[in-house]
């Protein structure tokens, strides 16, 4: 144990002397109040420490004590449904101990050490086990089977394993390693947050993450194990989209990190998630969710740690074989926390005052996503998808954080304030967004039932592109100058925008759309286009087609229940009949 | 506890003072500075070895560094709070400036406050009726929200703030209600207008004003929002008041922050503002809210003037990322003589969905506001097109949207400064002007609402119908 003394205090940064021997990224306790801090720089016997709690009142000369451990998370049963601050202190326990306002210097265990869990055995006595192998499991919630694995770095022969009710600190197994040393294993393990958990192999993502959001699933899909970013100015709906993804994604586990965002938004998640039902299992969404809430007014250094705390928990569940999705809202605040600490360290600034290592930090975060073959037996493939919101100043995409992120992520959902002003939500601009999984997406559908999805998707993107070009012409010469064919294209594009892309998160049915329904909706619009195009060729007046009483039923497609999808098929038939009827009338 | 007094500072530069040879000084500690004829306060910004950097809360004018007596109090800056402060006009540190006696403190509270545990927060969902259609109809204010007004110099933001204070009510009665106004760097006339208006409407007796005028030292502005919110928290969470906090003008606050940062020679972020401005602002704005199990609430309306009406300027930009929406004022509407000149398209209330609907306002409110937004957006697009091509080049349906946009501005947005419209009046007015559009274009509202609320306005035909509205 190393004991030093505070030499300087400047906001969240404390410099201590007499600290020689302390390791980088080691946790230290600072001052009489024993505030949590992490060593981020050492020079001679000086150590720079970022402190995770308010440093008000801290004096020069107070003691700094090293703990010998890096910043770690506690992993084990009891973590599901939890809500933590940036350094994994449970907010509920903090409230019970200190009341409605957060104060300082309190260490609380992240997991409940008294609760007993029913541990069911998988491994057998005498088995040769390596790290990652399943010892057994706890049915933590109805949605989540929490597997207990041999912790990273351990292997050997299983001398003893006990089934029954245990707390997470009681021993459930004894493992004897090759040196003959016996290791007691409990259901809880600790793991440093800044180091990625090991895996056997990284695989190419080959299955889409279905989000129930039409603009994502049909236009710019993300894959399980993929990375995406949502940059946009304030008010463009980043947080609503992140919430929608957390609600409806078909991942097994959701880790939601509210990093430097609004307190009331975290409260909304806290109130909604226990009530919202998972569309597949019908269970409360909270049963598969872990929340990390480090709101903007909570200490800035803990904000920096919060995304790592989140991803360390996410990787733990990935190792059990689950498809995990992590949302980070917003990574800009995380980058700003880095900038603030870097500024106080008087480091040479890079662009916009951000530290020069911004890019590598962003990369090291997103690279922890992926589809992997995990370590351990039984062999399992699992994925960790990461979706980061970015809040660039003024919505300017040349912002260093956006640029550093775009170099890493495979899917870009660009938000557009003009769309938001017109209340076109989700206000994803279809002209600037992209998904580099398009190719995989096509391969995925070639195998499945919805083979023609690929064609219809390409058709949709094409129409939208054509619309953008035609709009330019309309702006110059007016609508009247367009040919009937072009008028039709504009009408179809309008329908795609308003009747398909727009989706109301607060409408009980519209909030989630299955892939099947998305396909059928597009099918209706494309049927409209096809038959209308034919009718125009046969010299039916475009006005006559536009005047057909179809607009309303097409615009109400969104409100059709998932259980009544035949209505969409009927609508396509009706569209065909009515338009062909016009041709018949002429002939 | 033994506290120490030191003689003489080694330097004073702008708002910063450095004292050397100190021992046992705490970060953020309150410092009392005595000169021959003055008593000034400051706080410790940095301690390093035996050196302390102190930020002064008042102007250093007339201070002689060598002869100062500097007393480190060992405590952070505290505000003596009490119910007596209602009805008073105080300065940036809570001292009277209305000639009255200092209010007797019931308790002393650290002005920095502490973050509300997100787990303890109660979600803001109680509708506040402001009587202003552009807010009640489209950008609803709820209790516990922070909803800033983004304005520019020369626009009537103070009058709108005064109107909200006069008219705001919750659709329930029998609750205590208080207003705290923090004036940072505003002019005497603005401050005077507000205080007179509060007095005339009888609101003054439940109002506290903290004031630092434009000609007074810049650095006094830094403590004002925190002092204000400390009193607000005391009233809300200890005395069950529903507190409305108006902070004007946040631009002046941010400039004071920049001044201190520059004096400390910190690495500047965008436009010279410090890199930690987001964090600093959040410690002000996030003090709005409600707490489970407590009756009171804090609702914030910060007002800021955007330099050159530029919404990407760091001050409105960072504010918009923290607050739960924003109300934009538009110079174009203001020039057209429309009061209040609220540009509804970029305006937003994030907490709106939970504060409206059946049982709160009316079932059709949410659909209706979506419909108004998209119809007005389309009308504005048509207007732009008409400017280039002439109105004749528009399609018939676009002409209708254009007409809608005009009527929307003159009949819905515009209202009298002393005209209070109930939310039902606002909603009915919305349906009335929506009847100018073809029914099949009203895609955002549910069918049943159209039959229930719109049909009665549709029975009137063509021009007659329009005249009825106008």
8 A C-beta contact, residue A119 and residue A136: yes
Cα-based angle A339, A343, A344 (whole degrees, multiple of 5): 120
For A327, residues 6+ apart whose C-beta sits below 8 A from its C-beta are A242, A245, A246, A254, A255, A256, A257, A387, A388, A389
Chain B hits for A556, CB-CB cut-off 8 Å, are 447
Q: CATH for A3-70?
A: 2.40.30.20
What is the longest distance spanned by two Cα atoms in chain A? 97
Note whether B48 contacts A9, CB cutoff 8 Å.
yes
Q: Does B322 touch chain A (CB under 8 A)?
A: yes
Note whether B289 contacts A396, CB cutoff 8 Å.
no
Which DSSP helix (H) or strand (E) runs through B427?
helix B423-434
Note whether A393 contacts B266, CB cutoff 8 Å.
no
| pLDDT band of B463, cuts 50, 70, 90 | very low
Distance CA B94, CA B81 (A): 9
Structure tokens at A127: 């088995």
Q: What local confidence, expressed as pLDDT, does residue B41 receive?
A: 87
Residue A237 is labelled as binding a ligand? yes
Report the pLDDT averaged over residues B151-178.
87
- The two beta strands, B177-186 and A411-412, are unpaired
Structure tokens at B338: 């429309």
Cα-based angle A133, A135, A140 (whole degrees, multiple of 5): 110
8 A C-beta contact, residue A212 and residue A503: no
CA–CA distances in Å: residue A288 to residues A369, A548, B242, B456: 19, 47, 37, 49
> Which residue carries 């969905």 as its tokens?
B353
Report the pLDDT averaged over residues B446-463.
79
Chain A hits for B405, CB-CB cut-off 8 Å, are none
- Four-way CATH pick for B4-76: 2.160.10.10, 3.40.350.10, 1.10.287.130, 2.40.30.20: 2.40.30.20
DSSP string, B99-160: SSPPPPPSEEEETT--PBPTTTEE----EEE-S-HIIIIIS-EETT-B--EEE-TTS-HHHH
Q: Give residue-wise pLDDT tens across range B321-343.
A: 999 999 999 999 999 999 999 99
Note whether A295 contacts B118, CB cutoff 8 Å.
yes
Residue A208 is labelled as binding a ligand? no
Q: What local confidence, expressed as pLDDT, does residue B464 receive?
A: 44
- ipTM score here? 0.87
Q: What local confidence, expressed as pLDDT, does residue B3 receive?
A: 67
Report the pLDDT averaged over residues B423-432.
95
- Four-way CATH pick for A200-435: 3.30.420.40, 3.40.50.2000, 3.30.70.270, 3.40.50.300: 3.40.50.300
Which DSSP helix (H) or strand (E) runs through B219?
none
A residues 169-208 lying closer than 8 A (beta carbon) to B: none
The residues pairing with A275 across neighbouring beta strands, listed in sequence order, are: none
Structure tokens at A432: 């600037």
In angstroms, the separation between the Cα of residue B15 and the nearest Cα of chain A is 17
Distance CA A296, CA A278 (A): 29
HEC profile for A320-366?
A: CCCEEEEEEECHHHHHHHHHHHHHHCCCCECHHHCECCHHHHHHHHH
Q: How far is CA A147 from the centre of its chain?
A: 22
Q: Which CATH architecture has domain B365-468?
A: Up-down Bundle (1.20)
Residue A21 is labelled as binding a ligand? no
Examine the pLDDT at B81 and tell me if it is beyond 90.
yes
Q: What local confidence, expressed as pLDDT, does residue B2 receive?
A: 59
Examine the pLDDT at B470 and tell me if it is beyond 50.
no
Q: Give residue-wise pLDDT tens across range B24-60.
A: 898 989 999 998 888 888 889 999 989 999 998 888 8
A residues 353-372 lying closer than 8 A (beta carbon) to B: 353
In angstroms, the separation between the Cα of residue B291 and the nearest Cα of chain A is 7
Chain A hits for B377, CB-CB cut-off 8 Å, are 421-423
Which DSSP helix (H) or strand (E) runs through A268?
helix A263-272
Q: Does A553 touch chain B (CB under 8 A)?
A: no
Which DSSP helix (H) or strand (E) runs through A581?
helix A566-586
Q: Which residues of A566-580 are buried (b: 16+ CB within 10 A; e: fewer)?
A: eebeebbeebbeebb
Q: Mutation test of the interface with chain A: which of B30, B279, B365, B393, choosing the one with the most A Cβ atoms within 10 A?
A: B279
> Which residue carries 């541990």 as its tokens?
A119
Give me the residue from A336, A395, A417 closest to B275, CB to CB.
Answer: A336
Note whether A234 contacts B388, CB cutoff 8 Å.
no
CB contacts < 8 A, A to B, total 215
Per domain, the residue ranges of chain B are 4-76, 79-355, 365-468
Q: Does A508 touch chain B (CB under 8 A)?
A: no
Give me the residue from B270, B282, B350 closest to A352, CB to CB.
Answer: B270
Structure tokens at A331: 């990574």
DSSP string, A109-140: -SS-SS--EEEEE-S-TT-EE-TT-EEEEEE-
Residue A70 is labelled as binding a ligand? no
Q: Does B275 touch chain A (CB under 8 A)?
A: yes
Q: Does B351 touch chain A (CB under 8 A)?
A: yes
Q: How far apart are the first and last CA of chain B?
A: 73
Report the pLDDT averaged over residues B170-197.
87
Chain A hits for B445, CB-CB cut-off 8 Å, are none
What is the chain A residue with the closest CA to B294?
Answer: A100
Note whether B395 contacts A479, CB cutoff 8 Å.
yes
Structure tokens at B191: 């401050």
Look at the alpha carbons of A242, A247, A253, A258 in this order and tell me if their dihedral is positive or negative: positive
> Which residue carries 């020039």 as its tokens?
B335
Q: Which CATH architecture has domain A112-187?
A: Beta Barrel (2.40)
For B39, residues 6+ apart whose C-beta sits below 8 A from its C-beta are B32, B33
Q: Does A55 touch chain B (CB under 8 A)?
A: yes
Per domain, the residue ranges of chain A are 3-70, 112-187, 200-435, 453-586
Note whether B312 contacts A396, CB cutoff 8 Å.
yes
Cα-based angle A371, A375, A377 (whole degrees, multiple of 5): 115
Q: Does A9 touch chain B (CB under 8 A)?
A: yes
Distance CA A403, CA A397 (A): 7
Structure tokens at B325: 């929406």
In angstroms, the separation between the Cα of residue B224 and the nearest Cα of chain A is 18
Examine the pLDDT at B411 and tell me if it is beyond 50.
yes
Q: Does B238 touch chain A (CB under 8 A)?
A: no
8 A C-beta contact, residue A313 and residue A373: no
Distance CA A287, CA B240 (A): 35
Tell whether omega for the bond before A435 is within 30 degrees of 0, i.e. cis.
no
Distance CA A308, CA A490 (A): 46
Residue B95 DSSP class:
-
Q: How far apart are the first and last CA of chain A?
A: 95
Count Cβ atoms within 10 A of the Cβ of residue B92 and give its class: 0-12 exposed, 13-18 middle, 19 or more buried: buried
Distance CA B207, CA A32 (A): 41
CA gyration radius for chain A?
27
Q: pLDDT 10s digit of each residue in chain A, 587 long?
A: 889 999 999 888 999 999 999 999 999 999 998 998 999 999 999 999 999 888 888 999 999 999 999 999 999 999 999 999 999 999 999 999 989 998 887 778 899 999 999 999 999 999 999 999 999 999 999 989 999 999 998 999 999 999 999 999 999 999 999 999 999 999 999 999 999 999 999 999 999 999 999 999 999 999 999 999 999 888 888 888 999 999 999 999 999 999 988 888 888 888 888 888 887 788 888 999 999 999 998 888 889 999 999 999 999 999 999 999 999 988 999 998 898 888 888 888 888 889 999 999 999 999 999 999 999 888 899 999 999 999 998 888 999 999 999 999 999 999 998 898 888 999 999 999 999 998 888 889 888 778 889 999 999 999 999 999 999 888 888 788 889 999 999 999 999 999 999 999 888 899 999 999 999 999 999 999 999 999 999 989 998 998 888 888 898 899 999 999 999 999 999 999 999 998 865 44
Examine the pLDDT at B465 and tell me if it is beyond 70.
no
Give me the residue from A60, A100, A479 closest to B120, CB to CB.
Answer: A100
The residues pairing with B247 across neighbouring beta strands, listed in sequence order, are: B182, B302
Q: Does A480 touch chain B (CB under 8 A)?
A: yes
Residue A235 is labelled as binding a ligand? yes
Look at the alpha carbons of A119, A122, A125, A128 in this order and tell me if their dihedral is positive or negative: negative
Residue B226 phi/psi, 5-degree rounding, is -75, -40
Residue A209 has a CB neighbour count (10 Å cut-off) of 25
CATH level 3 topology of B79-355: Rossmann fold (3.40.50)
Chain A hits for B287, CB-CB cut-off 8 Å, are 297
Helices B250-263 and B224-233 cross at an angle (nearest 10°) of 120
Residue A552 phi/psi, 5-degree rounding, is -70, -45
Give me the residue from B268, B286, B294 closest to A263, CB to CB.
Answer: B286
8 A C-beta contact, residue A393 and residue B312: yes
- Four-way CATH pick for A453-586: 3.30.1200.10, 1.10.1140.10, 3.40.50.1100, 3.20.20.140: 1.10.1140.10
Q: Give residue-wise pLDDT tens across range B239-272.
A: 999 999 999 989 999 999 998 888 888 888 788 8
Q: What local confidence, expressed as pLDDT, does residue B450 receive?
A: 92
Note whether A339 contacts B286, CB cutoff 8 Å.
no
Note whether A91 contacts B393, CB cutoff 8 Å.
no
In angstroms, the separation between the Cα of residue B157 and the nearest Cα of chain A is 21
What is the chain A residue with the closest CA to B316?
Answer: A394
8 A C-beta contact, residue A6 and residue A19: no
Chain A hits for B118, CB-CB cut-off 8 Å, are 83, 91, 258, 263, 266-267, 270, 293, 295
Residue A306 exposure: Cα atoms within 13 Å on the Cβ side? 40
8 A C-beta contact, residue B13 and residue B45: no
> Which residue carries 């005395």 as its tokens?
B239
8 A C-beta contact, residue B133 and residue B279: no
- The two beta strands, A411-412 and A72-75, are unpaired
Mean pLDDT of chain B: 90
Q: What local confidence, expressed as pLDDT, does residue A308 receive?
A: 95
Q: Does B94 touch chain A (CB under 8 A)?
A: no
Note whether A300 contacts B27, CB cutoff 8 Å.
no
CA proximity to A499, closest of A208, A210, A244, A218? A218
Q: Which residues of A215-227 are buried (b: 16+ CB within 10 A; e: fewer)?
A: bbbbbbbbbbbbb
Structure tokens at B136: 């009640």
């Amino acid at each position: 144990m190393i004991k030093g003394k505070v030499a300087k205090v400047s906001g969240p940064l404390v410099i201590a002397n007499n600290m020689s021997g302390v390791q980088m990224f080691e946790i230290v306790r600072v001052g009489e109040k024993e505030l949590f801090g992490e060593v981020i720089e050492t020079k001679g016997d000086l150590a720079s420490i970022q402190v995770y709690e308010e440093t008000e009142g801290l004096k020069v000369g107070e003691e700094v004590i090293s703990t010998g451990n890096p910043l770690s998370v506690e992993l084990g049963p009891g973590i599901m449904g939890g809500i933590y601050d940036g350094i994994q202190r449970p907010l509920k326990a903090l409230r019970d101990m200190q009341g409605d306002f957060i104060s300082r210097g309190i260490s609380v265990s992240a997991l409940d050490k008294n609760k007993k869990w029913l541990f069911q055995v998988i491994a057998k006595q005498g088995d040769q086990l390596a790290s990652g192998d399943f010892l057994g499991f706890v049915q933590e919630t109805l949605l989540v089977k929490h597997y207990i694995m041999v912790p990273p770095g351990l292997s050997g022969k299983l001398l003893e394993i006990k089934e029954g009710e245990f707390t997470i600190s009681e021993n459930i197994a004894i493992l004897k390693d090759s040196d003959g040393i016996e290791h007691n294993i409990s259901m809880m393990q600790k793991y440093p947050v800044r180091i990625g958990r090991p895996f056997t192999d990284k695989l190419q993502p080959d299955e889409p993450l279905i989000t129930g959001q039409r603009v994502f699933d049909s236009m710019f899909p993300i894959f399980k194990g993929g990375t995406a970013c949502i940059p946009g100015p304030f008010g463009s709906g980043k947080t609503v989209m992140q919430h929608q993804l957390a609600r409806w994604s078909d991942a097994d586990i959701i880790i939601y990190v509210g990093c430097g965002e609004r307190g009331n938004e975290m409260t909304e998640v806290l109130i909604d998630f226990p009530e919202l039902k998972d569309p597949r299992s019908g269970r409360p969404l909270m049963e598969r969710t872990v929340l990390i809430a480090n709101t903007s007014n909570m200490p800035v250094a803990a904000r920096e740690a919060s995304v790592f705390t989140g991803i360390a928990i996410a990787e733990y569940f990935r190792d059990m074989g689950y498809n995990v999705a992590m949302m980070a809202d917003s990574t800009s605040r995380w980058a700003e926390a880095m900038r603030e600490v870097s500024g106080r360290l008087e480091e040479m600034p890079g662009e916009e005052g951000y530290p020069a290592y911004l890019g590598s930090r962003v990369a090291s975060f997103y690279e922890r996503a992926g589809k992997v073959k995990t370590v351990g037996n039984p062999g399992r493939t699992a994925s960790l998808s990461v979706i980061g919101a970015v809040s660039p100043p003024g919505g300017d995409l040349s912002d260093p954080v956006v640029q550093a992120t775009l170099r890493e992520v495979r899917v870009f959902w660009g938000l557009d304030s003009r769309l938001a002003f017109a209340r076109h939500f989700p206000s994803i601009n279809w002209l600037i967004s992209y998904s580099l999984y398009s190719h995989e997406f096509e391969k995925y559908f070639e195998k499945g039932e919805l083979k023609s999805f690929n064609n219809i998707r390409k058709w949709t993107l094409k129409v939208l592109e054509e619309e953008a070009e035609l709009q330019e012409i309309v702006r110059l010469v007016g609508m009247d100058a367009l040919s009937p064919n072009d008028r039709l294209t504009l009408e179809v594009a309008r329908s795609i925008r308003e009747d398909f892309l727009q989706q109301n998160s607060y409408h009980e049915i519209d909030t989630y759309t299955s892939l099947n329904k998305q396909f059928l909706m597009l099918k209706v619009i494309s049927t409209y286009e096809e038959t209308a195009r034919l009718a125009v060729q046969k010299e039916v007046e475009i006005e006559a087609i536009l005047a057909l009483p179809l607009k309303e039923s097409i615009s109400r497609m969104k409100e059709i229940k998932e259980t009544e999808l035949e209505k969409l098929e009927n609508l396509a038939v009706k569209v065909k009949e009515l338009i062909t009827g016009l041709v018949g009338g002429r002939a | 506890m033994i506290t120490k007094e030191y003689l003489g500072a080694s330097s004073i530069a702008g708002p910063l003072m450095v004292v050397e040879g100190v021992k046992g000084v705490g970060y953020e500690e309150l410092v009392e500075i005595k000169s021959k004829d003055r008593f000034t306060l400051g706080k410790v910004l940095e301690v390093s070895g035996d050196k302390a950097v102190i930020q002064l809360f008042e102007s250093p004018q007339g201070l002689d560094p060598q002869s100062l007596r500097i007393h480190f109090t060992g405590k952070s800056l505290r505000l003596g709070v009490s119910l007596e402060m209602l009805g008073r006009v105080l300065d940036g540190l809570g001292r009277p400036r209305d000639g009255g006696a200092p209010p007797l403190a019931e308790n002393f509270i650290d002005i920095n406050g502490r973050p509300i545990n997100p787990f303890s927060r109660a979600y803001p969902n109680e509708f506040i009726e402001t009587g202003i259609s552009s807010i009640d109809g489209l950008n609803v204010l709820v209790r516990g929200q922070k909803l800033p007004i983004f304005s520019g110099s020369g626009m009537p933001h103070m009058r709108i703030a005064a109107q909200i204070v006069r008219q705001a009510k919750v659709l329930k009665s029998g609750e205590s209600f208080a207003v705290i106004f923090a004036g940072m760097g505003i002019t005497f006339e603005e401050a005077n207008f507000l205080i007179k208006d509060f007095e005339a409407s009888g609101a003054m007796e439940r109002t506290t004003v903290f004031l630092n005028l434009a000609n007074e030292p810049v650095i006094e502005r830094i403590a004002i929002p925190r002092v204000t919110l400390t009193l607000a928290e005391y009233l809300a969470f200890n005395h069950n008041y529903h507190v409305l906090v108006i902070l004007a003008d946040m631009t002046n606050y941010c400039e004071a922050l920049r001044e201190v940062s520059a004096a400390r020679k910190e690495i500047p972020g965008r436009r010279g503002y410090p890199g930690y401005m987001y964090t600093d602002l959040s410690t002000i704005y996030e003090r709005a809210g409600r707490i489970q199990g407590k009756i009171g609430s804090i609702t914030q309306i910060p007002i800021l003037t955007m330099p050159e009406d530029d919404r990407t300027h760091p001050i409105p930009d960072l504010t918009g990322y923290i607050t739960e929406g924003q109300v934009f004022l538009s110079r174009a509407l203001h020039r057209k003589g429309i009061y209040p000149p609220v540009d509804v398209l970029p305006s937003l209330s994030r907490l709106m969905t939970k504060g409206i609907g059946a049982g709160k306002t009316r079932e059709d409110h949410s659909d209706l506001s979506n419909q108004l937004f998209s119809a007005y957006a389309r009308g504005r697009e048509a207007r732009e097109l008409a400017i280039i091509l002439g109105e004749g080049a528009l399609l018939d349906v676009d002409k209708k949207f254009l007409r809608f946009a005009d009527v929307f501005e003159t009949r819905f947005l515009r209202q009298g400064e002393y005209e209070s419209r109930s939310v039902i009046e606002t909603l009915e007015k919305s349906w009335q002007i929506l009847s100018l559009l073809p029914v099949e274009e009203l895609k955002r509202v549910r069918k049943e609402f159209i039959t229930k609320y719109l049909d009665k306005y549709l029975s009137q035909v063509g021009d007659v119908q329009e005249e009825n509205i106008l």
